[in-house]
Chains A and B, each alone.
Chain A
Amino acid sequence: MGRVMTFLTRTRSGNGRMDWTDWVTYGYLLFGVFMMFAPVVWLVMSSFKTETELSKFPPRFLPYAQETVAVDGYDEPLPIFHIHSGEHAGKTLVQTRRVGLVAQMVDPNDPSQKLRISVNDRAPVENLNFAWENYSELFERFNFFRFLWNSTFITVVATAIMLLVNAMAAFALSKYKFRGRTGVLMLVVGTLMVPQTVILVPLFLVTKELGMLNSLWGVIIPGAATPTGVFLLRQYMITIPDEIIDAARMDKASEWKIFWRIILPLSAPAIAVLAILAIMWRWNDFLWPLIVLNQSEKFTLQLALNSFQGEMETRWSNLLAMTVLTLLPIATVFMFLQKYIATGIASTGGK
């Protein structure tokens, strides 16, 4: 506790006193932590609630569920209540039926005797209960694995292709002197200006003509060459000294070998940054898959999630579980790589 206090009260001047600006700073930062994380935490907690618990208002933070017990003579497990007032006060009973404001209840140890209890005299016996079935149902009742596989396949393959193709182009643009280099560079800069969102219609036609509609390749290929990627890698490769390449050529290494044995490993930091970006873009991509993929078995997680929003209007329990599973991979990547992600995105200016 003492250490926490010294940590919190350390100030810029180092005299141990909190300046008012420090209070404002930490206040703002704590508010920031709340604003950024609380919604996600709320979502995760809600995803463990049963459908009955989800429809309760006001909602509670932790997931509770009513205790039930199997009673002789009844097929279904019956909900347990604690009776707090009336003639049976202090007893714990189970409900067999309910008619209006009167519940028909029995003692679980003596099911033969039926008691009539006013619903105002009782309170449900609840326990903390994580509804894992919200998650397991996704795998049993919905095609969740399909969507997960589609998303994973697109992300992994697209990232790999993008890295290879962009690294090759960056290598050519940084290490060779050939006629037309400036021209190619200008061309690449030019495409930076035209985002995918404004060429949707013709892009759709080209993809259709190449027979890639409703196929995962139709999502992967059109975005494989990104000007951002070429630039990022080229800027990095320029800093690799040419002498290394000359030495390799002396040793009769082929140009291809120079590329993948020397340039690629030396560009690892830049490639890592681009890989993280590519994974993020592809995993979260929405508009282009929405246009290319029409059959639900080809849907990515993002598409499935969005289309389930309408269909599962009343099934928030599954929808929330699916949302959590969709954000899980990115959250994991974030935890392990947050240092690199932040610097990487700052250095490229994003997309």
Chain B
Amino acid sequence: MIWLAAGLLLGLAADPATLAITSGPCNGRAVTVRMTNDGPAPVYADAVLAASPGLHLPRRLISTWLPPGYTRSVPVMVSAAVGTRAGVYHVRVSGGGRRIDVPVTVTAPAPDAALVRLAARVTASSARASGGVCAAIDGDPGTMWNDATGRRWPDRWQLAWDRPHRVGLVRVVTTARGGLRDWDVQVAVPAGWETVAAVRGNTAVEVTSTFAARRATAVRIVTLAGNGAGDQSRLAEVVIR
């Protein structure tokens, strides 16, 4: 085994070659870094990632063992905070003496975009590696936010804006097996957190709670119980209007 010192045998690629994202913590997209060992012997190799100020990467280094001819593909989410100035930014990946530049075009979400797209912060009481907080608003019911504390309740998933929005509907999509049974929907109003819906004994996959619309700076779903299967919080999608 050798350490890739000279680095001439490392193939490096990034896919896609350019990226377009809107600002917001859950509006990012992934760039997949591909590291290939083009040499005849196994190596340990590094790829170093850097980003223009304004962009956020969850990791700045990828180190891995590479057998000969093997390509390691690692998706890295690229996002920009709310308020990031529109423009072209860059993600740079270097390793094995090579360097790749991925231009990233950042724009603000349209003013009439869905409220979940306008979020400034999305957080949860805990999350599994395979079930991050953004999975609940990614438009894909095949992915979900999944809390990391099985059989312990309550859990909390929360979305906040930088300025108030008028909110009168929260739709929760959970799962057919082990889905949410009991939860409260709360909104942040000037007086504090207000419970606007309390769902109990649910067995449906989708539940829409409507309430008198009010201006709120955040919505949170306080989960209280699930329908078995490890008793976990499972939010496949959340729609807020």
Question: Is this pair of chains taken from one and the same complex?
Answer: no
Q: Hey, which bits of chain A sit against chain B, CB under 8 A?
A: none
B interface vs A, CB < 8 Å?
none
